[in-house]
Amino acid sequence: KFPKTLKEEDSMEVILNDIPPGTYTISILDDEDKNDKMNFNLLRMPREGYGFSNNIVPRHKSPPYEECSFQVDEKNVYLKIEIQYFREKS
C-alpha cells in the first residue's frame, strides 16, 4: 500500500527499491473510500479507478498475468500506468 499523493496533472510516482530480478505485475486501485476493495455499481462496473502494468485495460475480469507481466533485472525499470475511470473522479 502506498499513500495517495498526487503530483502535477494528477500523476503519482512510486519508487520501489531493492526488488529482486524476476517477472512481476503491478495493479493499482484508487481506493477512494479506503475500504481495501474495489467497489462496483449495479451493472458491475468499477466505481473506483484502477490500472495494470503494461496499461492493459481488461474487459469484465482481471487480465491474464502474462499480459501484465514485465521483467526486472539489475537496471532501473520505469513504468507508466494509466488509471481507468468509468465515471468522473469525486
Task: Indicate the domain borders of the chain.
Answer: 1-74
Mean pLDDT, rounded, for 33-61: 89
- Tens digits of residue pLDDT in 58-90: 877 889 999 999 999 988 888 889 888 886 555
User: Quick one: which H or E segment has residue 66?
Assistant: helix 65-68
What are the respective helix, strand and coil percentages of the chain, to the nearest 5? Answer: 10, 15, 70
**Angle at CA of residue 72, ends 3 and 79, nearest 5°:** 50
Neighbouring CB atoms inside 10 A of 78's CB total 6
Are the beta carbons of 33 and 39 closer than 8 angstroms? yes
